């Protein structure tokens, strides 16, 4: 085989190596990108359901049947998103999310306007903890 044959084989080997490395690195990059986007979506949906839950509760009288179904819908959405967070995030995020979910149960079960106000304040603080954990998880500060 002459020099041009060796050069052709070397070029082919280099191309194949480049293709393999690019595929592996690109695949990992895409996987990380997907995970980050999925995590962001889960955080946003979890927090949006939390805020909606609080807004509904703020506009109701404790024990009011009309709001109960709406509150339950948002609570179920939070649970669903928390399941996604279990798959994508750390224990710190899960602990904060589970605590917030429990606080929302307290909001739903508040028997008096005074207890509802305290429960809503606690849920608001719980959201701040979740946001801080989410920002830390995502490297946002």
Question: Lowest-confidence range among 18-27, 46-55, 86-95, 113-122?
Answer: 18-27
Mean pLDDT, residues 19-25 taken together: 63
Residue 118 has pLDDT above 70, yes or no: yes
**Between 38 and 13, residue with greater pLDDT:** 38
* pLDDT score recorded for residue 47: 95
51 pLDDT band, cuts 50/70/90, is: very high
Listed in sequence order, the residues at least 6 apart from 77 whose beta carbon sits closer than 8 Å to its beta carbon are: 45, 49
Please state the φ and ψ torsions of residue 110, each to the nearest 5 degrees.
Answer: -60, 125
- Provide the CA 89 distance to its chain's centre, in angstroms: 8
Write the DSSP symbol of residue 112: S
Domains, in order of start, for the chain: 33-137 (1.20.120)
């Amino acid at each position: 085989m002459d020099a041009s044959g060796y050069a052709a084989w070397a070029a082919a080997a280099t191309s194949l190596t480049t293709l393999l490395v690019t595929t592996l690195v690109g695949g990992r990059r895409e996987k990380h990108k997907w995970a980050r986007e999925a995590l962001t979506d889960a955080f946003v949906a979890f927090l949006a359901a939390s805020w909606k839950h609080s807004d509904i509760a703020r506009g109701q009288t404790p024990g009011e049947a009309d709001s109960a179904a709406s509150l339950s819908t948002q609570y179920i959405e939070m649970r669903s998103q928390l399941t996604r967070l279990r798959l994508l995030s750390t224990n710190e995020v899960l602990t904060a999310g589970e605590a917030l979910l429990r606080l929302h149960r307290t909001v739903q079960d508040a028997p008096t306007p005074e207890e509802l106000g305290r429960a809503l304040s606690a849920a608001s603080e719980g959201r701040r903890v979740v946001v801080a954990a989410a920002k830390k998880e995502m490297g946002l500060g």
